[in-house]
A and B are shown apart, each in its own frame.
Chain A
Amino acid sequence: MEQKKYWKGLEELHNTDAHQEIVKNEFSEELPFESEGLLNATTPRRDFLKYLGFTTAAAAIAASCETPVKKAIPYVNKPEEITPGVANYYASSYSIDGEYVPVVVKTREGRPIKLEGNTLSSITQGATSARVQGAVLSLYDTARLRFPSIGGTETTWAELDKQVGAALAGLGGAPVVLLSATLLSPTTKKVIGEFLAKYPNSRHVVYDAVSYSGMLQANEAAYGKRVIPSYHFENAKAIVSLGADFIGTWLNPVEYARQFAQTRKINAQKPEMSKLFAFESHMSLTGANADERYTHKPSESGAIALALLAAVGGSVTAPAIADKRVADGIQKAAKELKANAGKALVVSGSNDVNVQTIVNAINNIIGANGTTIDFASPSNYRQGIDSDMTKLVSDMNAGSIGAVLVLGTNPVYDYFESAKFAEGLKKVKLTVSFNERNDETTELCKYVAPDHHFLESWNDAEGRTGYYSFAQPTILPLFKTRAVQDTFLTWAGNTTAWADYLKNEWISKLGGQEAWDKALQDGVVEPAAAPALGGASFAGDIAGAAGKINSGKKGGKLELVLYEKVAIGSGKLANNPWLQEMPDPITRSTWGNYACISNKLAKTFSTQLGDDYEINAEKKVLKVKSNGKEIELPLLIVPGMHPEVIAIAVGYGRGEKVGRAAGGIGKNAYPFVSFNGQTFDYFTTDASVDATGTKEIVALTQTHNSYEGRPIVKETTLEEFIKNPKEVNEDRLELKKFGADFRKDATLYPNYSYPGIKWGMSIDLNTCFGCGACTIACQAENNVSVVGREEVAKAHEMHWIRIDRYFSGDEENPEVVFQPMLCQHCDNAPCENVCPVGATNHSSEGINQMAYNRCIGTRYCANNCPYKVRRLNWRDWNGADSFENNLYDVADMNDNLTRMVLNPDVVVRSRGVMEKCSFCVQRLQEAKLDAKKAGHPLKDGAAKTACQQACGADAIVFGNINDKNSEIYKIRNEMQTDRLYYVLEETHVLPSISYLAKIRNKDAAPKAEKESAHKEEAHHA
C-alpha cells in the first residue's frame, strides 16, 4: 500500500523551523499562575482571585479539619505476652551515679513508659526519686549515640572490634585503664576483671564526679574497711547532719528519706518523733526539713565537727565557734545525741578525710555503730578514690598510659582540671568511650562504642553487700548500641554473650534456672533474714585529724560551696527535660543554675527580697571568682544561706552536643573544685563576687516565699502537740457555728452523698520532704508537657502537682514547710459552675474531671480556682493542633523517638485546653475493672495515684473514703483526727484532699503567728 502522508497545512508539509518549534511545545501552557509574585503580577486581579480562593480553601481546611490521624498497623501475629492496652511489668534497677533503686518498669506495647519503685526491695521498699522517675525519658533521648564510630565516622561493631583489638595488641605493655563511675554490678566488675587481666599493669579507676572519697578513706583508716556503711535512720531518735543532704542528694537519698520518714510519722496516740539537727552552709533539702538548723561557712565544717565531738565527750580541744547561735546549737545537738545514745546518728557531707574521721569518732561515742550504722552489710554506693584519679591524670600527661576506656563518666566536663585531663587524653594511644552520648569526653575519644541504656540491658546491682537487684531488657535496643559487657567479653576473646554470662553466673549462685527466673521476676535477691547490724571498732587518729583540721584552710571573707540539685545531681541526667523543668525544692527554679546568696549579701548588689525582686524574672548577673576561675551567673536570693557563702549547683553548663535540653543551660561549676592532696574539696574559701551590670532570667515557679501567716499551712511544735493535740486545729471550731456538719449545714443547696466509691487523699506535711518525686511521676504518668525556661518565667508551666515551699521566721534562719498542691477535687468546685460549656464537671465518685474535647479555654475555671492548680495549654506543646508550624518545643519532646514515652492511657492535650490533676483516673478505672473481673469489691491500695506511688515517705495516702477498712478512712476518722485539716475549708468548696498539720520537734514556740482577722503580719522571708 502506498504510504500516504497527510498534512494539515502548508507549514506541516514544508516542516518549517517555526512549525517544529510549535510541535515541540505542543503542550506548552504555563501553570495557571501568570507571575511569580502577587504584587508584581502583570494581571494581578486574576492571580489575586486565585490566591484568594486558595487561601480561603486552605484556611477552611485548617480550621475545620481535626489533627490528621496517623495510621496504626496492627500485629499480624500477636506476640506472646503483649496484649494491646495491657501493660507488662519488668523488674529492673536504677544505678546511675552509684544510687541504688530497684524498680519495676511498666511497658505498653513494648515501650517502657514508667518506672515505679520495687516494693520487694527491703532497702528502698518501693520508693523512688525524681531522677528515677525521670530516667525513663532518657531512654528516648534524641541525643543518644546511635551507632559505634571511629574518629567521628560511623562504623560497624566488627570493624571497631578489629581496630580496637589491633590497637590493644599494639600497646606494647603500656597500661590499659578503665575509667568508670561507681559500678554496682558485681558481674560487670567480673567481666571487667577478666578483660583487664589480659593486659599487664592495667587497672580500673573509679572516679565519681561528686566524690565520697574522704568518707571511704576515713573509714579505711578508722575501721580498716574502705566502705560506706549502711545507715539506718529509722533507728535514730536524734540525727545530726553536718552538711549531708541525705534527703536530697547524699549517697542514696531514696533509701535514707524513706527511713527518716518512718521516724516522722506521728499522731496523738503516739506523739513521738525523731529530732533532726542540720549544720550547713547553704539551704539544702535536709536543712529545710530539719527541726533545728544552723549555718556556717564551709571552711568551718571541721571546726563544727570537732566542737560536736568535744561536746559529746570526745577528748579533743575544739576551736571556739564564734557564732553564738551555732555554738549553742552544737551544745543542744550534743545533749540530744547523748540523751539518745544508741539511737543517734551523725552524718557528714564533707569529702574531707579528717572531718569524716571526727564524725566517725562522734558516732563511736554516741553508740551509733551497730545501731544506726551498719558495717556488717556495708553499702557500695560510691567507690571512687580521688587520688587514684589525680594519679591517672598525671600518668596520662606523663604519657605512660596506653589506653583509656571511659565508661559512664565524663571527666572532661566534671573533673576539676578538665583541661589537664583533655591534654592527657591526647597523649594516650587508645581512647575509647562507652558513653551513651557525645559528651565532652566522648568527643575527644577516637573510638566510641556506645553502651545500651539500662532499660535495654541485662545487668545486676549490689547496692548493699548481699542485697542484689537485677536489670533486664524492657525493649529491644533502639539503636546500634552494644552492652558494654559484651564489648569487654569480645575484646577479652570470650565468645559468651553477656546475657548468657550473667545468667550462668547467677544460675550457679542461686542454684538453678527456676531461682534465676524468680530473681528476674522479683527483681531482687536478698538475704532470707536481715543480717544483724554490725558495728566496727573505731581506731581513728582523732588527734591527727583534729590537728589537720585546725591547721587547714582558713576561711576568707566570702566562701563558695558547690552542691548538687535534687533534680540534676552531678549532671548525668542533665539532658532530661522533665528534670530540667522540675522546680528545685528549695529555690523553686527550673532550667539552669545560679549563684545562691543570702538577702544580706544581695543587698550589697542593691537587690533584695521584696515586690520588685518578686515580679521581675530577670535577676542581676554576678561574676563569681575563686581559685583563679570565674563564671557569670544570675543571683538568686535564698533565705537560710549563710551571709558569707555563695552556693552554686554543679551539673550545668553542658555543650550543645550533649543534647538540646542541657546544652547552653547554666554554667559549669566543677572548675571550682580543688584537690587538697587527699580528696576533692567542693568549696573554696577565697571567693569574690562582682555585679556585671547585666541581667538574666531565672525561671521560678514560685516567687513569693511566705505563707503570710495564713491558715493554709498549719504547724505546731511537738511539745505543744503533746500538751494539746487539738490546739493546732483550733480555728476549725469556728466552722461549728454553721452546725454540726459543716458540709451540709453551711449551704442552702442539697448535699450529694456519694453512695459508691468516694475518692479522697491525705497528705502528711510532716513527712513531705519536698523532694519532687511526685511531680515527675505525675509528669510521666499523665504526659504533662515541658514548656522551657522562657515559658516557665511567664508562669506557663504545666505541672499538675507542685510542691509549695514556704519560709517563715527570719530570713537568715528561716523555717521551711513544703506543701504539695494539686487539684483538690472539690465537691463544691468553684471551677465547675463557671465553665460556660460544662467542660469540667464532677463524677459520681467525687472526681473533678476535665472533658478536654469540650474545653474552649476561657480560663474562667483557673481564675476561680482558689488553689490555682489549673493549667492551660498556652502554646502548642505537643503538636496536637490544627495549625502547622506553631509547635512550641524547646527540648525535642515531640520527636517521634521521645514521644514513645507517652502513656497511651492518657490523652495528649491540644493547645488552648485547660488541664489539671485527674487523680490518675486511668489508674482508678483500671483498678475498678480488675476488681470487677476478679469479682470482688475494690481493695484498698489497688488503685494508687502516680504521686502516691512515687512518694518514698508515704506522705500521700489515697483511697476510697467510703471503705471503712481503707487507710484513708482510718486516717480521717481514727488516726489523725487532731492534725487533719483542709486547705481553705472555710470557703466551703469541700476539697477531697486533707492535709495533716506539720509538727516540728523544737523547743521554741512556733514562729509563724496565727492570723487574726485584721492583722496579717507580712514576713517577707
Chain B
Amino acid sequence: MHLKYESTLREPLVDGVKDYHQVTEDIISPIEGKPGTLWYVGFFISLTLLGFGAFSVFWQIYFGVGVWNLNKTIGWGWDITNFVWWVGIGHAGTLISAILLLFRQGWRTGVNRAAEAMTIFAVMCAGQFPIIHMGRVWMAFFILPYPNTRGPVWVNFNSPLLWDVFAISTYFTVSLLFWYSGLLPDFASVRDRAKTKLRKLLYGVAAFGWTGSTKHWQRHEALSLVLAGLATPLVLSVHTIVSFDFATSVIPGWHTTIFPPYFVAGAIFSGFAMVQTLLIITRKILHLEEYITLGHMEAMNKVIVLTGSVVGCAYLTELFMAWYGANPYEFATFFKYRAAGPLGWSYWIMMTCNVITPQVFWFRKMRRSVAVTFVMSIIVNIGMWFERFVIICTSLYRDYLPSSWAYYRPSWPEVGFYMGTFGLFFTCYFLFAKYFPVIALAEIKSILKTSGENYKEKMVVYEEEPAEKFAHDVAHAH
C-alpha cells in the first residue's frame, strides 16, 4: 500500500475515475487493436521522408560531400547543425527520466516513457550526421580506438570530435538501457493480456521473463536508480562535450567559455519543446488526455520558460563579452556578421523564437493552453535549430581573413538528409506508439493512488478534519 500522502491542493496527475485495471485498459488496448487512419497516414508520410532521406544520403555518399553546398570556408552547415539539434532534443528525455526520478517528481510518470523514446530516436537521428558528413564515410571506423595493424595508429584523444564519439555512444547506451528496463513490467502486462500466440511470444521474449515477483521489483527499482545515477551526469556532460567541438576552437564565435552551460540549457529547452510537440499529438490520437494532463504540460512549459531565459541570458552575455573582451575579430563576428550581415536574418529568427516568444509562458493561461503550447513548441524548436545554425555558420562564414569569406545555402541533399532524419524519427515513434505502452504503466500505477483524481477526492474528508482529530484517530487506530 502506498503510504505517501499528497495534498489535494496539488493538481491530480491522472484525471478521471481510474483503478489499476482501467489504467491498464487505457494504455494497453491501443496496442491490441488496429491503429486508426491517422496513424497510417502519419506512418506513410514518415516512411516517405525516410526514403527520401536515404536517397539524399546515397547521393551524397556516391558523388561526394561536394553535392552539399559546404565550401572551403564553411565546412559544417546543416549537417552539424542538425546533429547538435537532435542531440539537444534528446536531452529532455534523460532529464525527465533521470533527474526528475532522483528528485522524486511524480509528474514525470505520465511523460517519461515517450520522452525517453524520443531521446533514443533523437540520438539515433543525431548520430547519422557526424558519420554521414565525413568525406570518406566508409572509413568511419577510424574514429574508434581499437588495436590495429597500422602501427598501431590511435585516435587523437585531444580532439573534441573524438570526445563526441564517446559521449554520444555512452549516452545512447545508457538511455537505451534505462528505457528498456522501464519497459519490462509493461511488456509483461501486455504479454499477460495477450490473446494471440504471436503477441504472447514476442512480448514474452521482450519481457525477459518478468513475473512481477517482489525480487524482480526490488531489482528493477535498484537498477532504475543506478541507471538514473549514471544518466544524470550525462544530461550535463553530453551537451557540454558537444559544445567543446566549438568552445575549444580558435574561431571567433566558437571560442567561448560560456558554451557548456549555454548548450545544456538550450538542449533542455529544445528537448522539452519536442516532448510537448509529440505528447500533444500522442494524447490526442491515443486519447490519453487523462494521463497527459494540462498539469503535465504546464510543468514542462515552466521548464521551457526557465531554460529559454537562461539561453537568452547566454546570448546577451556573449554579446557583452564580444564587446568587453576587446578582441576585434570576435567583436566583428558578433556585431557585424552575426547580428547583421548577410546571415543576420538567422540570428533574429533565433532571438525571436528562443528569447522573445517563450515569454508568453509567464502567464498561467498560456501555459495551460494546448494550442499555445503546441505552436510554441514548434517555434522553440525552429529557434533552437537556428541557434545551432547561427553558432556554426555565422562564425565560420566571416572569420579572420576576409579573403575567404563566403556564403552558404543548403543544397537539396542536405535538406533531404535532414528530412530523412525526421522520417526516421517519426517512423520509430509511430512504431513505438503502436507497439509499446506509450505511458509507463507500472509507474503511473505507483502514483495513481496518491495523485489520481478519484483517489485525491477521498482525501478531502481527511483534509477537512481538524488536525487534532486526525492525530487522535491515527494514534488510536488499533
Contact = CB atoms under 8 A, between A and B. Distances in A.
Given A834-B160, A914-B135, A987-B250, A1013 B331 contact: yes
Interface stretch (B395-403, B437-445, B448-456, B460-468): B395-403
Interface in B59-89: 62-67, 69-76
Contact of A863 (B65, B76, B326, B328): B76
Contacts of A838: 153-156, 159
Interface string B217-244: 0000000000000000000000000000
Contacts of A876: 63-64
Nearest to A864: B249
A791 B69 CA distance: 10
A1003 interface: no
Given A857-B135, A912-B134, A989-B250, A866 B142 contact: no
A265 B327 CA distance: 34
Contacts of A860: 75-76, 159, 161, 245
B248 A866 contact: no
A771 to B, nearest CB: 17
B251 interface: yes
Given A862-B72, A874-B65, A984-B400, A835 B156 contact: yes
Given A804-B401, A834-B159, A873 B328 contact: no
Interface string A832-859: 0111111000000000000000111111
A169 to B, nearest CB: 59
Contacts, number: 197
Given A796-B72, A989-B250, A1016 B331 contact: yes
B324 to A, nearest CB: 10
Given A611-B342, A797-B72, A912-B134, A857 B65 contact: yes
Nearest to B343: A615
Contacts of A863: 74-76, 249, 251, 396
Contacts of B102: none
Interface in A790-824: 791, 794-797, 802, 804-806, 819, 821
Interface stretch (A698-706, A716-724, A929-937): A698-706
A854 B407 contact: no
Interface string B319-342: 000010011110110001000011
A886 B251 CA distance: 34
Contacts of B405: 614, 703-704
Interface stretch (A11-19, A113-121, A707-715): A707-715
A941 to B, nearest CB: 30
B133 interface: yes
Given A834-B248, A856-B140, A866-B250, A1018 B161 contact: no
A1018 B336 contact: yes
B136 A857 contact: yes
A910 interface: yes
A867 interface: yes
Contact of A882 (B138, B160, B251): B138
Contacts of A615: 342, 407
Contacts of B162: 836
Contacts of A806: 402-403
Interface in A863-919: 863-864, 866-868, 870-876, 882-883, 886, 888, 910-914
Given A837-B156, A857-B136, A872-B75, A791 B404 contact: no
Interface in B143-192: 143, 153-156, 158-162, 165
Interface string A1010-1021: 011110101000
A912 B251 contact: no
A265 to B, nearest CB: 25
A913 B136 contact: yes
Contacts of A702: 403-404
Contacts of B76: 859-860, 863
A830 interface: yes
B245 to A, nearest CB: 8
Nearest to B327: A1013
A864 B72 contact: no
A63 interface: yes
Given A886-B64, A1013-B326, A794 B71 contact: yes
A912 B250 contact: no
Interface residues on A, range: 35 or more
Nearest to A708: B402
Nearest to A828: B250
A570 B323 CA distance: 52
A703 B71 CA distance: 13
Contact of A886 (B62, B142, B328, B332): B62
A132 B203 CA distance: 76
A835 B69 CA distance: 22
Nearest to A615: B407
B17 interface: no
A951 to B, nearest CB: 19
Nearest to A702: B403
A876 B69 CA distance: 16
Contacts of B67: 875
B328 A867 contact: no
A437 to B, nearest CB: 31
Contacts of A1011: 328
Given A834-B161, A989-B250, A708 B136 contact: no
A708 B263 CA distance: 31
Contacts of A868: 72-73, 399-401, 404
A873 B134 CA distance: 11
Contact of A866 (B71, B135, B160, B399): B399
A912 B156 contact: no
Contacts of A707: 402-403
B66 A867 contact: no
Nearest to A984: B400
Interface in A613-670: 614-615
Nearest to B135: A857
A614 B342 contact: yes
B250 A864 contact: yes
Contacts of A708: 332, 402
Contacts of B329: 710
Nearest to B160: A834
Given A838-B155, A859-B75, 19 more contacts: A614-B342, A834-B159, A834-B248, A835-B156, A836-B143, A836-B165, A837-B155, A837-B156, A856-B137, A858-B133, A863-B251, A866-B401, A867-B404, A875-B63, A886-B63, A910-B136, A1013-B328, A1016-B331, A1016-B332
Interface of B: 62-67, 69-76, 130, 133-140, 142-143, 153-156, 158-162, 165, 245, 248-251, 323, 326-329, 331-332, 336, 341-342, 396, 398-407
Q: Which 9 A-B pairs have the closest CB atoms?
A: A857-B135, A912-B135, A874-B66, A795-B71, A859-B75, A804-B403, A615-B407, A868-B404, A912-B136
Interface of A: 63, 611-612, 614-615, 702-704, 706-708, 710, 712, 791, 794-797, 802, 804-806, 819, 821, 830, 833-838, 854-860, 862-864, 866-868, 870-876, 882-883, 886, 888, 910-914, 983-984, 987, 989, 1011-1014, 1016, 1018
17 contacts: A63-B138, A611-B341, A702-B404, A794-B66, A795-B72, A806-B402, A837-B156, A856-B137, A863-B396, A866-B250, A866-B251, A866-B400, A867-B400, A888-B64, A1016-B328, A1016-B332, A1016-B336
